Chain A
Amino acid sequence: MKKKALALCLAIVMGMSLSACGGAAGTSTAQPEAPAAEQPAETETAETKEEPAKTKTEEAPQAEASGEKILHAAASFAYPSLDVHKEYYGWYTSIYGISEALFRMDENMSAAPCLAKSAEADGKTWTFTLNDGVAFSNGNPLTAEMVVKNLKRLAEVNERFAYLGEFEMAAPDEKTVTITTPEIYPTLKNDLASPECGMVDLDATTDFDNAPVCTGPFVISKFQPEGDVEVVKNPAYWAGDVKLNGAVFYYMQEDDPKILAMQSGEIDCYNSVSSAALEVYKADPDQYNVVSIPGARLQFYILNEKTLDDAVREAVNLTVDKEKIASYLSGTVSAAVGPFNTNAAYGKVAVPAVDTDKAKSVLEADGYKLGSDGIYEKGGKKLSINIAYYAARSLDTLALLIQEQLKAVGIDSTLTVEEDPDSTYIATGDFDLALYCMIADKSGDPLYFIDSTLKQGAYYDCGGFDDDRCEKLIDELRYETDPADRAALANEIVQIAIDDNAFGYVGLFNSTTVLRKGVSGFAENIPFDFYGIDANTDIQ
């Protein structure tokens, strides 16, 4: 006890001294975060080596005594409703293991069977066959008619899926759903893998916000709007046995409490692990299992073709070193080649290797001359570009690194930070190089990203990229049904944009999950953000 009191006093005095020396907290976004994030890392490595083991031994008997396997996880987001079809709430009912869609995205970014066992397209008509024995947690079977009702409700309540309302849907028998689209629609199967397309027993559900009746391996037991969520095993799960007895999701936004909760044994896993936390967990591999795979969220930049000539854009792309950036961001990002994961068939593009000498010669061939200050100039005007960015998803760090790398070859730059990119530089096109981050692959198909960024007039085609061949190929892609041909088309389209130096695809955020040893199946190998626990999630 005396030791504890002494430790407490010492720590308080140390904390006060550190703070007094360091002064007050700053207001900048990038710098002041570091000490807070590093604090637990230091404490972990220096002082608490033995503590987690203690926790494990304390926790294990509890679990054994009750005979129940309850997973405790942290969630970075929490929403006020569990209505599967509204907003993005379906992402969270999917993470909680409550709802399931007709298809489920797998590790290979393909839509694998889930509630539906097959999907066949014949021109404009798709035929989906439901899996055998699919039932809601109340025992009611999932019928084709209920699927149609669900999709119609989704179209009504979610603006992003309003297009489903234009499709003709029918249920010719209990197991078959047919959907006829006005035009050939090759990506319908992928769309139906979206978690918002989760199936709800619309007849039995009386409270969509708090207690939807779904088909998942878990059912809600306690829901606190914008707070913690508790689920219990669905004993009547249609796909077999569920390994866990239940799970608790704690709403925790901040990084430090998550690290401390992992160390104290109060949580077993979470995803979207920060780089600072990653160091803590990697330092103790006996205690934690860290799984990191390239995800679907892309950091990229748009080069403005209206303000930058071809040579400057090429020089920029030859200079920006993605590997160095990824290494600086220590494990949170993987260097990208194109916008998609290179494992996907539609992620096979080539980019020129970083070559700063070539970048310089490209500029010199275009008439730029190196000034005495080390910055290129042409016609008496210094080569300086405006880098627009916003301080989220590490784009602030990215902007600084790109600025530094460009300066090394003689391209000066100014940084412009905006709080809201969509209504500022993306809307106005007032930039030379615009940084942005978005999900590039939302359901295992390239059309969404290509349509959003490369199609003429698209919101994120704000740098003036315009290519007739690309337009033609995008139209082909829209109607192409063969997956291999779709991939080939997508690769060709993206390659055109790369060759035109219209964009720079910098990094794909890693989907990083930390699990206490013995915990498995927290969607750690799936690169999409909307999966969490399932029937196979287990604690050994």
Chain B
Amino acid sequence: MKRSLSTGRKGRNDNVTRIVRWGKNLIRLIFILIILSFLVFALLYLAPGDPAEKRLTSQGIAVTKEVLDAERERLGLFRPFLVRYGEWLLGVFRGDFGVSFRDDLPVAPKLAAGLQKTVQLASASLLLSLIFSFPLAVLAAWKKDRVPDHIVCLLSFFGNSLPNFLISVLLMYLLCIRMRVFPVIASGSLQGLFMPVISLAIPMTGRFIRQMRAEFLVQLSEDYVAGMRRRGVKERYLILNVIRNSLGHILTIIALQIGTLMGGSVVIENIFRWPGIGKLVMESITARDYPVIMGFVLIMGTIYVAVNQLADICFHALDPRGQA
């Protein structure tokens, strides 16, 4: 009875500790985002360029100073830096990301739409890339310095070196012009997803193969592998052990890639007319659309921190030795 009571208390204590840790992480995230947003806001404030001028002269028509000043006044650009930042931050706490300087439309729906498209593209290309890279990396590590390893390494080298705009144009030419299996102009459907996914996945697969192979090789050189081999453990069990022990580091590699992918790929999005967040943000930077840029920074900051946190949790779950 005493034992069960102490076990229950320990469980409750564990839960409390976990909640406290989550709370601390959340506060840390908010703190990071505030500092990040302040820095970016300050950089945008200092950078040359003016959203009013960009907006009024976007088609190459010059405007008078009076017209420009009236627009600056309307956008609130004459107000002091701290007032503008404070108002923006208060708005964010209320769930209001403001309106775009480029077209007066609310920022949140714009970012949400772009992010949704980027998530689709990023997750599909990541999945495709993992499907190919993981087994190929295992094969290359297992058959190190033998023919399969050389072939995989060569493919990885090519994939890694190919710029994705070249892959995009080559794919379009082959599949749309020569083979005519896809249209050049594809809408945001599954068909439209195919070529941008391939274009993103090829270089990513090349990178993953190299990184995963290196991790598997590290594990294969460990003493426990030599010990298992000496004990006559079957190769397939040995591979499973190696894979399991490599997973923590591989998850970190994937997590870092997710962060990059979520930033969007401007080139791919432009070529394939994919309205993702990368294209949106690039256009916003050109137009000095501060509210959209700030919203993007918050989203990306949150994604980076969350993904890294998640990778950390998975890492500890896979290898509890590192846990304090």
What residues of chain A have their CB less than 8 Å away from a CB belonging to chain B?
Answer: 4, 7-8, 11-12, 15-16, 18-20, 23-25, 35-36, 39-40, 43, 47-48, 51, 79-81, 87-88, 91, 159-160, 162, 226-228, 250-254, 256-257, 260-261, 263-264, 266-267, 297, 418-420, 422-424, 437-439, 442, 448-449, 452-453, 459-460, 529
Is B313 an interface position by the 8 A CB rule? no
A389 to chain B, nearest CB (A): 15
Would A254 and B184 count as touching, CB distance under 8 A?
Answer: no
Q: A24-B161, A24-B163, A256-B172 are in contact. Are A439 and B59 (CB under 8 A)?
A: yes
A440 to chain B, nearest CB (A): 9
B1 contact set on A, CB distance < 8 A: none
Would A7 and B178 count as touching, CB distance under 8 A?
Answer: yes
Residue in A closest to B159 when the chains form the complex, CB atoms: A16
A459 to chain B, nearest CB (A): 6
B229 to chain A, nearest CB (A): 37
Residue in A closest to B176 when the chains form the complex, CB atoms: A264
Cα–Cα, bound, A35→B49 (Å):
31
Cα–Cα, bound, A257→B171 (Å):
11
Q: A79-B103, A254-B270 are in contact. Are A264 and B180 (CB under 8 A)?
A: yes
Would B65 and A36 count as touching, CB distance under 8 A?
Answer: no
Q: In the complex, which residues 43-70 of chain B have their Cβ closer than 8 Å to any Cβ of chain A? A: 48-50, 53-65, 67, 70
Number of interface residues of B (CB under 8 A): 50
B293 to chain A, nearest CB (A): 15
> Which of B71, B159, B179 sits near A159, CB closer than 8 Å?
B71
A261 contact set on B, CB distance < 8 A: 184-185
A19 contact set on B, CB distance < 8 A: 158, 161-163, 166
Cα–Cα, bound, A252→B174 (Å):
19
A424 contact set on B, CB distance < 8 A: 48
Q: For chains A and B in complex, what number of residue pairs have CB atoms within 8 angstroms?
A: 152
> Which of A36, A88, A448 sits near B58, CB closer than 8 Å?
A88
Would B176 and A423 count as touching, CB distance under 8 A?
Answer: no
A15 contact set on B, CB distance < 8 A: 162, 166-167, 170
B59 contact set on A, CB distance < 8 A: 88, 91, 439, 529
Would A256 and B177 count as touching, CB distance under 8 A?
Answer: no
A159 contact set on B, CB distance < 8 A: 56, 63, 67, 70-71, 74
Cα–Cα, bound, A182→B240 (Å):
86
Would B166 and A36 count as touching, CB distance under 8 A?
Answer: yes
Is B92 an interface position by the 8 A CB rule? no
Q: A227-B275, A419-B49, A438-B61 are in contact. Are A12 and B166 (CB under 8 A)?
A: no
Would B48 and A419 count as touching, CB distance under 8 A?
Answer: yes
Q: In the complex, which residues 198-230 of chain B have their Cβ closer than 8 Å to any Cβ of chain A? A: none
Would A266 and B184 count as touching, CB distance under 8 A?
Answer: yes
Chain A CB within 10 A, most for which of B61, B174, B184: B184
Cα–Cα, bound, A145→B189 (Å):
46
20 A-B residue pairs with Cβ-Cβ distance under 8 Å, sorted by A, are A7-B174, A7-B179, A8-B174, A11-B170, A12-B170, A16-B162, A20-B158, A20-B162, A25-B166, A159-B70, A159-B71, A160-B56, A260-B172, A264-B177, A267-B185, A297-B60, A420-B50, A438-B62, A452-B64, A453-B62
